[in-house]
Amino acid sequence: MTETTTSNGQPQLSLGTAAARNLATTTKSVPQMQEITSRHLLRVLPWIQVLGGTYRVNRRLSYALGDGRITFVSTGADIGVIPAELCELPALREFDDMDTLEALAARFTQREFEPGDVLATAGMPADRLILIAHGKVDKIEPGPYGQDVVTEVLAGGDHIGGRMLTEETPDWDFTVRAATACTVLVLSHGDFQDVLAQSDELRAYLEDRQRGGDRAVNAHGEAAIELAAGHEGEVTLPGTFVDYEPAPREYELSVAQTVLRVHTRVADLYNEPMNQTEQQLRLTIEALRERQEHELVNNREFGLLHNADPGQRIHTRSGPPTPDDMDALLAKVWKEPSHILAHPKAIAAFARECNSRGLYPQTIDYHGNRVPAWRGVPILPCNKIPVSDRGLSSIMAMRTGEANQGVIGLHRTGLPDEYQPGVSVRFMGIDDKAIISYLVTIYYSAAVLVPDALGLLESVEIG
């Protein structure tokens, strides 16, 4: 019989732990998954039941102001404007003659500016249309006490000087100065007049817009409701009605699906102490929920980053998100803002800016946890908000709820074979390889009921 010795050369007097483990029952965790996040967006959105698969957002009639973003195409260092994108200009909102749009796009010339260069000067003739392809510019206006004030920061996709298309001899009301190195496309007044002289369609369109320019609208572009107030005596009261959009937007529920496969041998023999099918379903549903939140942020049809109104988008003034930038963002969603969502790195960048100024944002209780807040609005992390290769991200502020005319989530519950609310798990059968298949499905979407319910702070530098 061979004598067993310990590591120090002494005879072993009892059973070793390595051998004892062969008789012991291990305590196991359920399968873990690093992809799972807090998914705050799914938590904060009020979810509306959509029985017919489509949600229609009826709004008061608005006249499109045409302040959308313009998209460019680049070939090496050369940048051009996509002709159809010129319809984002207020004066050309509904103009659809592609030959004329192509002629206008061909007349733009590319120019480069360095930081501090002046692109336009207040009081000088506004004799050019400027499209910003890359970089940032400051819009500067005289302040009430004689000093110059930066009233807006414009960046790629924005434009200035559109009045040149509809007015004879307008002047610049503000000064535009490059805040960073900029690439812009410029259409001179002379080039525009040349194209106008050659296009009967464009002349007729602009004349028709001028004739229809006396439509009464409010500050939000909605058809005005005529009212009388402060009058005395027997005055004739105005008659009015509230008009609706003739073609309201409809949101169809999107879908996230997968087919989960489990071998019958696994399901039969390896279900203790944990049910294999149940654990497979749990992790699969977690992955679908993560994808659901990603789509609610990034989907080009209904994602919040793509459905924010152009007038609700602002840019950081200096790069990193400063307290001033966050105040400007809340000013865009000033009617009962409920949540701010940002990438964790953007939240860290904001904290650095506060630290550098000696500011310490408050924390508030949010579902039992202490989270940072700004002006009483909780700042929640959302890693689905993308960070570009250049280290730029966005920060979202929103008002939520159908009663508040805010941002809402759309889903459908009560599905056949519903496993969780809104999650359907349908048995699809067993194939000739003894593999069980389950179809796992989630239906969802999101809607912004009125434009000022969602604001975006863009070009957020997180480096």
- Model confidence over 352-387: pLDDT tens digits? 999 999 998 889 998 888 999 999 999 999 999 999
Do the domain assignments include residue 273? Answer: yes
| 395 and 419 share one domain | yes
- pLDDT attached to residue 211: 67
Last residue of a domain, one of 211, 238, 267: 211
Do the domain assignments include residue 397? Answer: yes
| 233 and 353 share one domain | no
Q: Is the pLDDT of residue 85 over 80?
A: yes
Q: Phi then psi for 43, rounded to 5 degrees?
A: -80, -40
DSSP code at position 100: H
- pLDDT attached to residue 386: 95
| 237 and 185 share one domain | no
- pLDDT attached to residue 286: 96
Do the domain assignments include residue 207? Answer: yes
| 183 and 95 share one domain | yes
- pLDDT attached to residue 322: 95
Last residue of a domain, one of 231, 247, 263: 247
Q: Is the pLDDT of residue 36 over 60?
A: yes
Q: Is the pLDDT of residue 347 over 60?
A: yes
| 191 and 330 share one domain | no
- pLDDT attached to residue 1: 47
What number of CA atoms fall less than 13 Å from residue 273's CA on the CB side? 7
Task: Select from 398, 441, 393 the least CA-distant residue to 292.
Answer: 441
| 268 and 342 share one domain | yes
- pLDDT attached to residue 414: 92
Do the domain assignments include residue 19? Answer: no
Do the domain assignments include residue 12? Answer: no
| 226 and 205 share one domain | no
| 184 and 235 share one domain | no
Q: Which helix (H) or strand (E) holds 263?
A: strand 254-263
| 107 and 207 share one domain | yes
| 348 and 444 share one domain | yes
- pLDDT attached to residue 299: 95
Task: Select from 25, 23, 59, 9 the least CA-distant residue to 449.
Answer: 59
Q: Predicted confidence band at 64 (pLDDT cuts at 50, 70, 90)?
A: low
Q: Is the pLDDT of residue 214 over 60?
A: no
Rounded to two decimals, what is the model's pTM?
0.81
**In angstroms, what CA-CA distances link 251 with 54, 445, 453, 455?**
5, 7, 17, 20
pLDDT digits (tens, 9 = 90+) for 437-457: 999 999 999 999 999 999 999
Q: Phi then psi for 366, rounded to 5 degrees?
A: -135, 105
Do the domain assignments include residue 98? Answer: yes
The mean predicted confidence, pLDDT, of the chain is: 89
Look at strands 254-263 and 435-448 and give their pairing: antiparallel
Q: Which residue has the tokens 């965790």?
A: 29
Tell me what the mean pLDDT of segment 111-121 comes to.
91
Q: Is the pLDDT of residue 68 over 80?
A: no
Q: Which range (39-48, 226-235, 415-424) has the least confidence?
A: 226-235
Is it true that the peptide bond before 273 is cis, omega within 30 degrees of 0? yes
pLDDT digits (tens, 9 = 90+) for 232-290: 888 888 887 788 888 889 999 999 999 999 999 999 999 888 999 999 999 999 999 99
* Both structure tokens of 56: 């229609």
Q: Predicted confidence band at 395 (pLDDT cuts at 50, 70, 90)?
A: very high
> Position 145: which residue type?
Y
CA gap 96, 131 in Å, rounded: 20
Q: Is the pLDDT of residue 142 over 90?
A: no
| 243 and 291 share one domain | no
Boundaries of domain holding 140: 72-211
Do the domain assignments include residue 65? Answer: no
* 19 Ramachandran zone, left/alpha/beta (phi>0; psi -120 to 50): alpha
Q: Predicted confidence band at 213 (pLDDT cuts at 50, 70, 90)?
A: low
Q: b/e per residue, 367-382, with b = 16+ CB within 10 A?
A: eeeeebbbeebbbbbb
The SS3 assignment for 380 reads strand
Cα 246 vs. chain centroid, distance in angstroms? Answer: 26
Do the domain assignments include residue 256? Answer: yes
Last residue of a domain, one of 211, 239, 260: 211
